[in-house]
Amino acid sequence: MVSGLVASDGSSGCRRGRTQLRRQPDRRILRITRISFILTFFFSLAVLGGCGLLPTAGPGTMDVMLGQRDSHSLPYSLVKITPRVTAVLGKAKPRLAAFGDKRRPRDIRLGVGDVVSVTIFEASSGGLFIPAEASVRPGNFVTIPNQPVDVNGNITIPYAGQIRASGRTQVQVQQAIVDALKNRAIEPQVVVSMVDQRTSLITVLGDVGRPSRFPASVTPEHILDAIARAGGPSGPGADTWVMLERDGRRAIAPFGALVYEPTNNVYVHPNDTIYVYREPQTFLSFGALGVQQQIPFGAYVGSGGAQNASTWRLSLAEAVAKAGGLSDERADPASVFLYRGETRDVAEALGIDCSPFEGPIIPVIYVLNLRDPAGYFLASTFEMRNKDVIYVSNAYSVENTKFLTYLRTINSTVNDPINTAISVYTLKDLIRGTGTVSTSVLTGSAPIITVPSGP
């Protein structure tokens, strides 16, 4: 028996009771369902208007291609990799051949502090230096004691006075002495020899066997010859760099470029400074690649993890392979980006308008399309630089899938409390009515409580 549900006629009261029990939870469920639809609608609008809040590994393709739109951020320039671009960058590689000085070094000239020896010969005895009784002498010459070039750049020769030596070759000094003595000595001839060379020196420093400063050779030498005289590199050649400084100018190249590209093995000149140092070359990989990390040029990623190998040069295609290749599930092959700072002259050669940029380094993003089969040929000729950054953006379908997953999560978050409320109200009605409940959440039908008739 359920009190308060039976009218005077009995049957009509039972029907009214069932109707009241059915309508009461029905209104509450309809109200909650209406609220859930409203919340779902507004959450959907929020997500559609704020897709930038979705998690991602970096900027999308359109974010990069549209350029820097934030006036307070760092501007950059986009350059599509083409055969012309690879040709321009090939001329701007860090090489000693770019020094532009391939001529043979000039003959060694005397300088202040160099110590020389002067020997004077005469054709017969009885002259200025050879006495008439030449038989008492071992020969028809006289050797003047060794002397340095003085601070004025001169040496002193008896009966000839001060002879200019600084800035002249040994042959030129010999001729100057002969000209000063020819009217007083008998057919004089002069030999000037270098005793101690203190000005025409070559300095080799850094990671070599014997860092030292040694005299330049009269025979022309190349830069590898000078490094060999200093004991050679002390470390692996793949990580070794060579810097050449001459007359206030500098040029840098990998040691491997001197060995494998003969045009970089330039002549060494007197007073050159050669600095050999080690700097492991690395690049960074981000986005839809196999790995996201700092990778040495000599490393490769295999089944056993990253391993090392010796290399001093790396192409973009090799770098992508070392980073594990493009992710088949996420990557957009048409959106491979390489970040690099180029010097202003290189940027201008690439056709970039450098007026909006300040400073000597121009931020450049190179764009490579690997959906194009020819893109792999371009990637094989594009040489990587130390500290380059490779980024591959996600495909549009990946971002759409993220959005749908996010939307499904919001919908579940809203529906779960509703289902719980429906279950609670249904359980309460079961307890109060001691009957059975039939509820369909999917169709939105209201629970109906059936009360058994009885006395």
**Residue listed under structure tokens 């549900």:** 5
392, 334 contact by CB (below 8 A): no
Work out the average pLDDT over 41-53. Answer: 51
Please give the pLDDT value at position 417.
76
Work out the average pLDDT over 99-113. Answer: 85
Most confidently modeled of 99-108, 232-241, 293-302, 420-429?
A: 232-241
Q: At 444, is the pLDDT very low, low, confident or very high (cuts 50, 70, 90)?
A: very low
Side chain identity, residue 204? V
For residue range 206-259, list pLDDT tens digits in order: 999 999 999 999 888 999 999 999 999 988 778 899 999 998 899 999 999 999
Structure-token pair, residue 110: 């005397």
For residue range 409-419, list pLDDT tens digits in order: 777 777 777 77
Nearest Cα residue to 321 out of 349, 347, 283, 271: 283
Topology given in CATH for the domain delimited by 115-196: wza like fold (3.30.1950)
Is residue 18 pLDDT above 80, yes or no?
no
Q: At 82, is the pLDDT very low, low, confident or very high (cuts 50, 70, 90)?
A: very high
- Cα–Cα distance for residue pair 56/212, rounded to 1 Å: 54
Is residue 433 pLDDT above 80, yes or no?
no
Domain edges within the chain: 11-49+401-450, 61-80+282-394, 96-103+200-278, 115-196
Lateral strand order in the sheet of 249-254: 212-215, 201-206, 273-278, 240-246, 249-254
Work out the average pLDDT over 71-79. Answer: 88
Topology given in CATH for the domain delimited by 96-103+200-278: Outer membrane lipoprotein wza fold like (3.10.560)
- Cα–Cα distance for residue pair 126/377, rounded to 1 Å: 82
> Of all helices (H) and strands (E), which one includes residue 13?
helix 11-49
Put simply, whether the predicted model's pTM sits higher than 0.75 gets the answer no
Exposure string for 390-402, b = 16+ CB within 10 A, e = fewer: bbbbbbeebbeee
Please give the pLDDT value at position 307.
52
If DSSP codes are grouped into helix, strand and coil, which group holds residue 123? coil
CATH, range 61-80+282-394: 3.10.560.10
> How much of the chain, in percent, has pLDDT values that exceed 70?
78
Please give the pLDDT value at position 52.
57
Please give the pLDDT value at position 308.
54
For residue range 346-373, list pLDDT tens digits in order: 999 999 999 889 889 999 999 999 999 9
Considering only CA atoms, give the Rg of the chain: 44
For residue range 366-411, list pLDDT tens digits in order: 999 999 999 999 999 999 999 999 999 988 787 777 777 777 777 7
- CA-based angle 70:75:81, to the nearest 5? 125
User: Is 96-103+200-278 in the same CATH topology as 61-80+282-394?
Assistant: yes
Higher pLDDT, 156 or 26: 156
User: Which residues, in sequence order, are bridge partners of residue 449?
Assistant: 437
- Cα–Cα distance for residue pair 446/432, rounded to 1 Å: 17
Nearest Cα residue to 128 out of 110, 140, 145, 113: 140
For residue range 111-153, list pLDDT tens digits in order: 999 999 999 998 887 778 777 665 555 568 889 999 999 999 9
Please give the pLDDT value at position 362.
94
Is residue 11 pLDDT above 70, yes or no?
no
Cα dihedral value 367, 368, 369, 373, nearest 10: 160
